[in-house]
A and B are shown apart, each in its own frame.
Chain A
Amino acid sequence: MDTNQYLDIFLDESKEHLQSCNENLLALEQSPQDLAIVNEIFRNAHTLKGMSATMGFEDLADLTHKMENVLDAIRNEKITVDSNILDVVFESVDHLEAMIDDIANGGDGKRDVSATVAKLKRIENGEAIGSDTDKNESEKVPTVEEVLTTDSMKFDEFELTVIQQSHEQGFNTYEIAIQLRDDCLLKAARVYMVFDILEKLGDVIKSSPTVEQLEEEQFDSEFSVAVVTKETSEDIQKKLLKVSEVEDVKIQALDYQSLVHQELASTATEEKVTQPVEPKNTKPVATKAKPKKTPEKRATHASSKTIRVNIERLDILMNLFEELVIDRGRLQSIASELNHSELNETVERMSRVSGDLQNIILTMRMVPVETVFNRFPKMVRQLTRDLHKKVNLQIIGAETELDRTVIDELGDPLVHLIRNALDHGIESPEVRKAAGKPEEGKVELRAYHSGNHVFIELEDDGAGVNREKVLEKALSKGIVTPEVAETMTDKQVNELIMASGFSTADVISDISGRGVGLDVVKSTIESLGGNITIESTEGKGSLFSVQLPLTLSIISVMLVEIEKEIYAIPLSSIIETSIIRNSDIMNAHNQKVIDFRGKVVPLVFLEEIFEVTRTEPADDEFHSVVLVRKGEKMAGLVVDSFIGQQEIVLKSLGNYLTNVFAISGATILGNGEVALIIDCNSLIK
Chain B
Amino acid sequence: METTLDVESVKVIIFQLGDKEYAIPVSQVQGIEKTMHITRVPKTPRYVKGVINLRGVVTPIIDLRDRFNVKSSVEDDNTRIIIITLDDMEVGFIVDAANDVMDIPTSSIEPQPEVVGSYEEEFISGVAKVEKRLLILLNLEKVLNTLK
Tell me if B44 and A672 are in contact (CB < 8 A).
Answer: no
CB distance from B49 to the nearest CB of A (A): 11
Further contacts, 17 of them, CB under 8 A, given A656-B144, A668-B53, A668-B56: A610-B43, A653-B41, A653-B51, A653-B58, A654-B89, A654-B90, A654-B91, A655-B87, A657-B60, A660-B43, A662-B43, A663-B41, A666-B39, A673-B53, A674-B51, A674-B52, A674-B53
- Given that A323-B56, A652-B58, A654-B90 are contacting pairs, would A611 and B51 also be in contact in the complex, using a CB cutoff of 8 Å? no
The distance in angstroms between the C-alpha atoms of A660 and B57, with both chains bound, is: 17
Number of A-B residue pairs having CB atoms within 8 Å of each other in the complex: 77
Instruction: Give A244 to B89 CA distance when docked, in angstroms.
Output: 54
Tally of contact residues, A, Cβ under 8 A: 26
The answer to whether B41 touches A655, judged by C-beta atoms less than 8 angstroms apart, is no
Taking a contact as CB atoms under 8 Å apart, the answer to whether A656 and B53 are in contact is no
Q: Does A676 contact B (CB under 8 A)?
A: yes
A672 / chain B contacts, CB cutoff of 8 Å? 36-37, 53
Tell me whether A565 is interfacial, beta carbon within 8 Å: yes
> With A and B bound together, what is the CA distance between A450 and B32 in angstroms?
47
**Are B56 and A326 within 8 A (Cβ)?**
yes
- Judge whether B142 is part of the interface by a CB distance below 8 angstroms: no
> Which of the listed residues B42, B48, B50, B52 has the most CB atoms from chain A within 10 Å of its own CB?
B42
Interfacial chain A residues near B115, Cβ < 8 Å: none
Residue A499 lies at the interface, judged by CB distance under 8 Å to chain B = no
Residues of chain B within 8 A (CB-CB) of A609 are 42
- Give complex CA distance A660, B45 in Å: 11
Q: Is the CB of B58 within 8 A of A673?
A: no
Chain A residues within 8 Å of B53, by CB: 668, 672-674
- Are A565 and B59 touching (Cβ within 8 A)? no
Of residues 657 through 684 on chain A, the ones whose CB sits less than 8 Å from some CB of chain B are 657, 660-663, 666, 668, 672-676
Contacts of A661 in B (CB 8 A): 42-43
- A469: shortest Cβ distance to chain B, in Å? 43
Kindly list chain A residues whose C-beta atoms are within 8 Å of the C-beta of B50: 674
The answer to whether the Cβ of B8 comes within 8 Å of any Cβ in the partner chain is: no
Check: B147 CB closer than 8 A to any chain A CB: yes
Q: Is B88 an interface residue (CB 8 A)?
A: yes
Cα A157 to Cα B87 in complex, Å, equals: 71
Q: Which residues of A contact B34 (CB under 8 A)?
A: none
A140 contacts partner chain B, Cβ-Cβ < 8 Å: no
A668: which of B43, B58, B87, B89 is its contact (CB, 8 Å)?
A: B58
Q: Which of A322, A656, A668 contacts B91 (CB 8 A)?
A: A656
Determine if A565 and B56 form an interchain contact, defined as CB atoms under 8 angstroms apart.
no
Q: Which chain B residue has the least Cβ–Cβ distance from A668?
A: B53
Q: In the complex, which of the residues B36, B42, B147 contacts A656, with contact meaning CB atoms closer than 8 Å?
A: B147
Q: What's the nearest-Cβ distance from chain B to residue A556, in Å?
A: 19
Please name the residue on chain B nearest to A657 by beta carbon.
Answer: B60
Q: Please measure, in the bound complex, the distance between the C-alpha atom of A653 and the C-alpha atom of B48, giving whole angstroms.
A: 12
* Bound complex: CA A674 to CA B58 (Å): 7
Chain B residues with a Cβ under 8 A of chain A: 36-37, 39-44, 48, 50-53, 56-60, 87-91, 144, 147
With a cutoff of 8 Å between Cβ atoms, the chain B residues found around residue A657 in the complex are 41, 44, 48, 51, 60, 147
Cβ 8 A contact of A651, one of B43, B58, B90, B147: B58
Residue among A565, A656, A666, A672 with max Cβ neighbours from chain B (10 Å): A656
In the complex, chain A residues whose CB is within 8 Å of the CB of B52:
674
The residue from A660, A662, A666, A673 contacting B37, defined by CB atoms under 8 A apart:
A673
In the bound complex, do residue B58 and residue A565 qualify as a contact, i.e. CB atoms below 8 Å apart? no
CB A279 to nearest CB in B, in angstroms, measures 67
Query: In the bound complex, how far is the Cα of B48 from the Cα of A666, in angstroms?
Result: 16
In the complex, chain A residues whose CB is within 8 Å of the CB of B57:
651, 654
In the bound assembly, the distance between CA atoms of A674 and B60 in angstroms comes to 11
Task: For residue B52, give the distance in angstroms from its CB to the closest CB of chain A.
Answer: 7
CB distance from A662 to the nearest CB of B (A): 7
Complex Cα gap A675–B58 (Å):
10
A676 to B53, CA, bound (A): 12
Distance (Å) between the CB of B101 and the closest chain A CB?
A: 25
Distance of A668 Cα from B53 Cα, bound (Å): 7
Report the bound CA distance from A323 to B53 in whole Å. Answer: 11
- Which residues of chain B are within 8 angstroms of A654 by Cβ–Cβ distance? 51, 57-60, 89-91
Binary contact readout A622-662 vs B (1 if CB under 8 angstroms, 0 otherwise): 00000000000000000000000000000111111100111
Q: Tell me the nearest residue of chain A to B41, going by C-beta.
A: A660
Complex alpha-carbon distance, A656 and B39, angstroms: 15
**Closest Cβ neighbor of B90 among chain A residues:** A654
A612 to B43, alpha carbons, bound, how many Å? 10
Known contacts being A653-B51, A656-B89, A656-B147, is A676 close to B60, with CB within 8 Å?
Answer: no
- Min CB gap A564→B, angstroms: 10
Closest to B51 in A: A674
- Which A residues are CB-close (under 8 A) to B51? 653-654, 657, 666, 674, 676
Contact of A675 among B39, B59, B87, B147 (CB under 8 A): B39
Chain B residues, CB < 8 A from A674 = 37, 39, 50-53, 58
Docked Cα-Cα span, A609 to B42, in Å, equals: 8
**Other-chain residue from A323, A611, A673 in contact with B39 (beta carbon distance below 8 A):** A673
User: For B40, what are the chain A residues with a Cβ–Cβ distance below 8 Å?
Assistant: 565
Cβ contacts A598-626/B at 8 Å (1 or 0 each): 00000000000111100000000000000
Listed by A's residue number, 9 A-B pairs whose Cβ atoms lie within 8 Å are: A326-B56, A655-B88, A655-B89, A657-B51, A660-B41, A661-B42, A663-B42, A674-B37, A674-B51
Flag if A676 contacts B147 (CB, 8 Å). no
Distance A323 CA – B56 CA, assembled complex (angstroms): 6
A284 vs B43: C-alpha distance when bound (angstroms): 81
CB distance from B94 to the nearest CB of A (A): 14
Are A656's CB and B43's CB within 8 A? no
Min CB gap A470→B, angstroms: 38
Kindly report which residue of chain A lies nearest to residue B50, judged by CB atoms: A674
CB distance from B143 to the nearest CB of A (A): 11
Across chains A and B, which 9 residue pairs bring their CB atoms closest together, nearest first?
Answer: A610-B42, A674-B39, A661-B43, A666-B58, A655-B89, A656-B89, A656-B60, A323-B56, A651-B58
